[in-house]
Structure 1
């Protein structure tokens, strides 16, 4: 989805997610979820070796972020090379 659809989806109360590593050569897989929570934009980012997504002790990344604006989220995406095009709802 593009940036405009992503923002519309989040503002309408839905969650957007990006699952990576499933069909890629990477040894790691992960999920990034974004939704509205108490007037803030919440983001969780979990990453682990492929096949170990149910074992939280194997996570190399288990992060939670809150953003006050879509501009702040956009800066985070840009800084972490996270493309809007890979998100689904």
Structure 2
């Protein structure tokens, strides 16, 4: 009798976190700083950049003008008085 023996292949399903080294000499310094800052801050940086991008888009639209006009007209409801600022309502006129 000829026996080939037993063969068992053991594999591990555990993954180990790895880091990738990148040659940073070819990238501009500003990009490196932004990438480093983004990795340090995480999700906050992404949210901040999205908020700034949306604000820039709103600046080009007339939405900001209307918002400013609304806040200006709503602030005129408050009038000066001897006792401080008083809000004018319909009841105060009746």
TM-score for both structures, normalised by structure 1:
0.18
Higher helix fraction (1 or 2): 2
* Higher relative contact order, structure no. (Cα contacts within 8 Å, ≥ 6 residues apart): 1
Which protein is richer in strand relative to its size?
A: 1
Larger of the two Rg values belongs to structure: 2
